[in-house]
């Protein structure tokens, strides 16, 4: 797994290992800066944003990459159905009863 890219937005954490020129982190990317095209193609971003179809994406993107993002999407769907443990409400309400009015 390629882990030698500094994936942090700013300088919150110093680099912990040498980087190659093409993976040297940018100092800081402000919100308005243009994104340099790297691993993720514009078509893949558009597909992940629901702007183009599977068929359109398949023309330009590797099947393995599409499969990876679909797997991540399926996993996210499962997480999207996660409910809050009932203990949260019980504990919060008990603390509120102990305290009284806000």
Using CB under 8 A as the binding criterion, the count of chain residues that bind another protein stands at 54
Site string for another protein, 38-77 (x = CB under 8 A): xxx---xx--xx------------x-xx-xx--xxx-xx-
The per-residue DSSP string of 10-75 comes to SSSS---S---GGGPPPS---TTSPPPP-SS-HHHHHHHTTSS-HHHHHHHS-HHHHHHHHHHHHH
CA distances from 76 to 14, 87, 91 (A): 30, 24, 28
> Is the CB of 34 or the CB of 55 nearer to another protein?
34
Q: Kindly list the residues in this chain that would bind another protein in the complex (CB under 8 A).
A: 1-3, 5, 7-10, 12-14, 16-17, 29, 31-33, 35, 38-40, 44-45, 48-49, 62, 64-65, 67-68, 71-73, 75-76, 79-80, 82-85, 87-89, 91-93, 95-97, 99-102
């Amino acid at each position: 797994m390629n882990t030698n890219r500094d994936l942090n937005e700013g300088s919150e954490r110093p680099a912990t290992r040498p980087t190659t020129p093409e993976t040297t982190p940018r100092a800081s990317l402000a919100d308005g800066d243009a994104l340099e095209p790297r691993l993720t193609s514009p078509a893949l971003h558009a597909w992940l944003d629901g702007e183009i179809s599977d068929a359109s994406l398949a023309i330009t993107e590797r099947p393995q990459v599409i499969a990876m993002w679909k797997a991540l999407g399926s996993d996210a769907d499962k997480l999207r159905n996660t409910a809050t443990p009932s203990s949260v409400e019980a504990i919060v309400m008990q603390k509120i009863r102990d305290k009284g009015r806000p």
